[in-house]
Amino acid sequence: MNMKKAFVGRLALLVSLISFCATVSLAKERGNEENSSTRHVLMLERTEDVRSDVFHKHEEKKDSLSTAGEIENKSHVWEFWSAVPDKFDDPKYVDIDVDMLGKEIACLSYIFETSFVRREKLIPGDPTERTIIKKQSVYNTTRNIGKFFRNGLKKGEINIQEATQDYSYILKVAIAVVNNEDTESFETELNNHKKDIKSQIELFKKVKLNNIYIN
């Protein structure tokens, strides 16, 4: 009798163990299914993110190419008013040092510097000053183009007549830009081509100037 009871007890324990193992196994399977489902969802989300990123980059590139094409195909893209005099016979230009590109370039460079650069005292009575440069990207680009022309002349790579003509117009455009408000798109294009100085020169040539002294 005791042996029978012991046997029944062991059998019940075995059944309980089998049931427990089955439960654990089922739970693992469900967990794996849930993890697999979660991973699948995450993969789908990441795929969509990648597709979206690629799409936006493609659209940005297409817009950039479209803008570049429009600029290239137009003789003039921007139009600004200019107050630069046609002649530099004012006494203030007499003592200006002649530039290697000529007297006109020297006078235009003087107007350029005084138009873009302003110095002001930090504290009244204190000689310490701070320098303020307006539209710094245009200022830096114009100066870099000047260096480009002068270095080209020294190396014999640029014709002085062509360099003088181009840089004269570039200085006039820069002076006009600093005195006009609606110049953001022009400044943006200069920044977009800051690693290609020849493209920047061409951008300056895409500006039409209207001189206020000419009816």
Q: What is the pLDDT of residues 121-154, one digit of tens each?
A: 777 777 788 899 999 999 999 999 999 999 999 9
Confidence band for 20, pLDDT divided at 50, 70 and 90: very low
Confidence band for 60, pLDDT divided at 50, 70 and 90: very low
Q: What average pLDDT does the chain have?
A: 76
pTM equals 0.65
| CB contact at 8 A, 119 and 129 | yes
What pLDDT is attached to residue 203?
A: 97
Domain coordinates of the chain in residue numbers?
A: 1-73, 77-211
Percent of the chain with pLDDT over 90: 44
Mean pLDDT of 90-102: 85
Mean pLDDT of 63-78: 60
Mean pLDDT of 42-67: 45
Residues 6+ apart with CB under 8 A from 207: 76, 77, 78, 79, 80, 173, 176, 177, 186
What pLDDT is attached to residue 137?
A: 93
C-alpha radius of gyration, the chain, whole number: 37
